[in-house]
Amino acid sequence: MLQSDGRRSADTHLLHAEFPGLKGIAIYLKDESTHPTGSLKHRLARSLFIYAICNGKVGRGKTVVEASSGSTAVSEAYFARLLGLPFIAVMAKNTSPQKIASIEYYGGRCHLVARADEIYEAASAVARETNGYYLDQFTYAERATDWRGNNNIAESIFEQMSAEPYSIPTWIIMGAGTGGTAATLGRFVRYRGFRTKLCIADVEHSAFYEAFRTGNKETRCSEPSRIEGVGRPRVEPSFIPSVIDRMVKIPDAASIAAMRIISRRLSRPVGGSTGTNFFAACWIASEMIERGESGALATLICDSGDRYRNTYYCDNWLRDNKIDISPYVASIEEFLDSGNAGGLFDLESTSL
Ligand SMILES: Cc1ncc(COP(=O)(O)O)c(C=O)c1O
């Protein structure tokens, strides 16, 4: 059933965005929002189910449980319904109501806990109590995907770019939630011997950047991430620093400003983590321009902005959360139109 569903599916578009100020730099965004369940997690959910079934962990009638910030659970609820399996999503209570509604639409049940760092224990407990199976994306994302190929996201990007003026991207830029997409991208680049470098953009409240900088995998972040899908309280097992060339730390206000700008310029609403990706791509573009380099950058539209109408797109929500995006909006617009970055990218960055 999973294979038939896969055969009925199409690949996602690789959009080429043009900006007058970025001469010689081509920016591509792979639009993962167009999957049936609205995010890049559609790929992961399919892989996790195949991995669990092929490992003999999930069979007829088995309850399937997941810890999620929402997007993965939406996609898993879709596949659980396809397979006729009961599904329980364990998520923090501040998960967007649109994601909760989507999970319930596919027949999944939501088990909400107070804080993001409680989801792991709670998911294990729910799986024990229901004699179910905890899919555990944060552990298995990096290995459930066929990183060598099988039309994974990396292979698809390189294939779709093959007839472009710069057919091999100089950098690929991505955020990290599980770190699974980063692992697939980084491993594929090495496996195929491309000179492409991988930049991972972390958000304000997250353990990944500090762990990359110091090498300490025990790093914790006590405040929950405000950019849904990316940024974690702990360094997830699927986060593989050795395949990452560089990390940048993006302020939440910059992610949300960039999200709104790229939504306007592409005429399609994108989510907050796409803003994080796009801001980091602009940062790398500015450095290439400064050095007189040209080339291509590839990143992802992780999900659609429709899920965040009442948060990132709502000025009252920004005010309530004390996030002022206005200085970033003006500076990003100026950069995209003129190539002049000013001090916009005077932020934290670490290279291996
Ligand atoms: C909207 C969104 N963007 C980005 C990511 C990060 O992807 P990954 O888990 O592969 O690191 C996620 C993961 O949940 C997500 O939901």
Q: Where are the domains of the chain?
A: 2-36+148-344, 41-142
Average pLDDT in the 7-20 region?
A: 96
Average pLDDT in the 77-104 region?
A: 96
Confidence bin at 147 (pLDDT 50/70/90): very high
Average pLDDT in the 32-43 region?
A: 97
Residue 261 has pLDDT above 90, yes or no: yes
Average pLDDT in the 273-280 region?
A: 98
Which among 286, 297, 196 has a CA at the least distance from the CA of 243?
Answer: 196
Q: Could you tell me if 64 and 86 are in contact, meaning their C-beta atoms sit under 8 angstroms apart?
A: yes
Residue 141 has pLDDT above 90, yes or no: yes
Q: Which two three-digit tokens encode residue 56?
A: 């003999």
Which among 92, 52, 56, 341 has a CA at the least distance from the CA of 231?
Answer: 92
Which among 171, 344, 181 has a CA at the least distance from the CA of 257?
Answer: 344
Confidence bin at 124 (pLDDT 50/70/90): very high
Say yes or no: CB of residue 37 within 6 Å of ligand 1.
no
Percent of the chain with pLDDT over 70: 100
Average pLDDT in the 19-28 region?
A: 98
**Cα separation, 238 vs 141, whole angstroms:** 6
- What pLDDT was estimated at residue 6? 92
Average pLDDT in the 38-42 region?
A: 97
Average pLDDT in the 41-65 region?
A: 97
**Cα separation, 83 vs 77, whole angstroms:** 10
Q: Which atom of ligand 1 is the closest one to the Cα of 274?
A: 3
Confidence bin at 151 (pLDDT 50/70/90): confident
Q: Could you tell me if 188 and 211 are in contact, meaning their C-beta atoms sit under 8 angstroms apart?
A: no
- What pLDDT was estimated at residue 4? 94
Q: Does domain 2-36+148-344 have CATH number 3.40.50.1100?
A: yes
Q: Which two three-digit tokens encode residue 331?
A: 């500076």
What is the DSSP code string of 246-310? EEEEE-HHHHHHHHHHHHHHHTS-B-HHHHHHHHHHHHHHHHHHHTT--EEEEEEE-BBGGGGTT
Q: How far is the CA of 293 from the centre of ligand 1 (A)?
A: 30
**Cα separation, 221 vs 207, whole angstroms:** 5
Average pLDDT in the 274-291 region?
A: 98
Domains 2-36+148-344 and 41-142 share a fold: yes
Residue 103 has pLDDT above 90, yes or no: yes
Q: Which atom of ligand 1 is the closest one to the Cα of 137?
A: 9
Per-residue pLDDT tens for 294-322? 999 999 999 999 999 999 999 999 999 99
**Cα separation, 87 vs 73, whole angstroms:** 9
Name residue 167's amino acid. Answer: S
- What pLDDT was estimated at residue 263? 98
Q: How far is the CA of 205 from the centre of ligand 1 (A)?
A: 15
Average pLDDT in the 70-98 region?
A: 96
Residue 119 sits at the vertex; the CA angle it makes with 97 and 180, to the nearest 5 degrees, is 90
Report the 10 Å Cβ neighbour count for 288.
Answer: 17
- What pLDDT was estimated at residue 352? 79
Q: How far is the CA of 141 from the centre of ligand 1 (A)?
A: 10
CATH of domain 41-142: 3.40.50.1100
Say yes or no: CB of residue 219 within 6 Å of ligand 1.
no
Say yes or no: CB of residue 180 within 6 Å of ligand 1.
yes
Residue 66 sits at the vertex; the CA angle it makes with 65 and 69, to the nearest 5 degrees, is 150
Average pLDDT in the 158-184 region?
A: 98
**Cα separation, 209 vs 229, whole angstroms:** 16
Say yes or no: CB of residue 176 within 6 Å of ligand 1.
yes
Average pLDDT value for the chain: 97
Which among 220, 197, 205, 212 has a CA at the least distance from the CA of 242?
Answer: 212
| Cα 70 from chain centroid (whole Å) | 12
Residue with tokens 């920004």: 318
SS3 call for 55: coil
SS3 call for 340: coil
What is the DSSP code string of 186-216? HHHHHHHT---EEEEEEESS-SHHHHHHH--
- What pLDDT was estimated at residue 334? 98
Please, which residues have CB within 8 angstroms of residue 245's CB and are 6 or more apart in sequence? 197, 198, 199, 351, 352
Per-residue pLDDT tens for 181-223? 999 999 999 999 999 999 999 999 999 999 999 999 999 999 9
